[in-house]
Chain A
Amino acid sequence: ELKVEQNPLFLSMQEGKNYTIYCNYSTTSDRLYWYRQDPGKSLESLFVLLSNGAVKQEGRLMASLDTKARLSTLHITAAVHDLSATYFCAGVRNRDDKIIFGKGTRLHILP
Chain B
Amino acid sequence: GAGVSQSPSNKVTEKGKDVELRCDPISGHTALYWYRQRLGQGLEFLIYFQGNSAPDKSGLPSDRFSAERTGESVSTLTIQRTQQEDSAVYLCASSLAFWGAFLDEQYFGPGTRLTVT
Contact = CB atoms under 8 A, between A and B. Distances in A.
Interface of A: 30-31, 33, 35, 41-45, 48, 88, 90, 92, 96-104
Nearest to B93: A43
B41 interface: yes
Chain B interface main SS type: mixed
Interface residues of B, number: 18
B105 interface: yes
Contacts, number: 44
A88 B35 CA distance: 14
B107 A103 contact: no
A42 B93 CA distance: 10
Interface stretch (B13-21, B78-86, B96-104): B96-104
Contacts of A90: 43
A45 B105 contact: yes
B109 A42 contact: yes
Contacts of A103: 41-42
A30 B103 contact: yes
Contacts of B111: 42
Contacts of B56: 96, 98
A97 B105 contact: no
Nearest to A100: B45
Interface in B32-79: 41-43, 45, 56
Given A99-B45, A101-B43, A92 B102 contact: yes
Chain A interface main SS type: strand
A24 B107 CA distance: 23
A8 B105 CA distance: 25
B86 to A, nearest CB: 19
13 contacts: A42-B110, A42-B111, A43-B43, A43-B108, A44-B108, A45-B105, A90-B43, A97-B100, A97-B103, A98-B45, A100-B45, A103-B41, A103-B42
A45 to B, nearest CB: 6
A92 B43 contact: no
Nearest to A99: B102
A48 B91 CA distance: 20
